[in-house]
Amino acid sequence: MQLNNLIRRLDLVTLQLFVAIHEEGSLTRAATREAIALSAASKRLNELESALGTPLFARQARGMQLTPAGETLLHHARRMLFNLEKIGLELGEHLQGVRGYVRMLANLSAIIQFLPEDLAEFSARHERIKVELEERPSNGVVQGLLDGVADLGICSSDCDTRGLHTVRYKRDQLVLVVQAGHPLAVARQVAFCDTLDNDFVGLHAASSINMRSVEAARRAGKVLRLRIHVPSFDAVCRMVQADMGVGILPRKAFELFGAALGLSAVTLEDEWAERELLLVAREREALSPVSRLLFEHLSGNPC
């Protein structure tokens, strides 16, 4: 496959047509949707497959089905079209006075506990800078920065940051969340190993809290009795309220969600329950001026 020939064939109209064929299951319907003559659409698809050197669709009685090569192209085509749409939106906002964008990834703990106030303060100081924030588990934050989809990230310190530049962001304390009538509710603090006879309501498997809990149970020679996984802190509290088990949350998250439901929080005395969150970037020297401003704001130190 010649690179120059491929680049010529991967124009926006052809990529949009390719995605439309997949979504419509028919070249005829896709051509109508994209306002292209059927003969021209057929020619574009044939030239694209010729340039790639492989068929992208299997022509079947029930419609056109993607081949493995087509599945690969679909992934990249959708990503390219999405990014182009974002370029258009962001450039349009620049015309309306937006000074710049910062793309940021953060784990759930940072988003719930600390970032609302920190970002609100930053936005008040820099009204023309737009921050785009996406929630990911800590390992996903690191991978996202390495993939170049974000400028800054916040992850747990027990995550492998794989050479990224890191500074301390915040600390938090994990607590055991129980019903008010639970035997452990009257304790001021408890060792995690003494909680392991209970069923647990856990966060999603990739979360730092879930991985810490599972590892701590393993070190205690037991298996964490996870009854259910849920995606959010408020969902953990609701499940604990419904007597589905006990849960583990950052203290501030409990104060936001659990206290209002009449639940109790017991401090975990284990060392691993004291956590540090890290602010991460690929290379601080390579940060854009607006990303540098946010980095400086969140770290409390000049870059």
Contacts of 200 (CB under 8 A, 6+ apart): 213, 224, 225, 226, 227, 245, 246, 247, 248
Please check whether residue 245 is in contact with residue 299, taking contact to mean a CB–CB distance below 8 angstroms. Answer: no
Burial of 76 from C-beta contacts in 10 A (0-12 / 13-18 / 19+):
exposed
pLDDT tens-digit series, residues 60-109: 877 899 999 999 998 888 888 877 766 765 566 555 544 678 899 999 99
Model confidence pTM above 0.85: no
Q: What is the pLDDT of residue 5?
A: 58
Nearest Cα to Cα of residue 202 among 194, 193, 210: 210
pLDDT tens-digit series, residues 255-285: 999 999 999 999 999 999 999 999 999 887 7
Contacts of 110 (CB under 8 A, 6+ apart): 154, 169, 170, 277
SS (H, E, C) 185-248: HHCCEECHHHHCCCCEEEECCCCHHHHHHHHHHHHCCCCCCEEEEECCHHHHHHHHHCCCCEEE
Q: How many C-beta atoms lie closer than 10 Å to residue 72's C-beta?
A: 14
Question: CA-to-CA distance for 122 and 132, rounded, in angstroms?
Answer: 13
Question: CA-to-CA distance for 23 and 77, rounded, in angstroms?
Answer: 13
Q: Tell me, what amino acid is at 189?
A: Q
* Cα distances (angstroms) measured from residue 229 to each of 48, 112, 233, 239, 286: 44, 18, 11, 10, 39
pLDDT at 288 over 70: yes
* Cα distances (angstroms) measured from residue 258 to each of 2, 126, 229, 234, 267: 60, 34, 17, 7, 14
- Computed on alpha carbons and rounded to an integer, the radius of gyration of the chain in Å comes to 25
* Cα distances (angstroms) measured from residue 193 to each of 44, 214, 269: 64, 11, 10
pLDDT tens-digit series, residues 138-197: 999 999 999 888 999 999 999 999 999 999 999 999 999 999 999 999 999 999 999 999
What the block records as the tokens of 241 is 């309220």
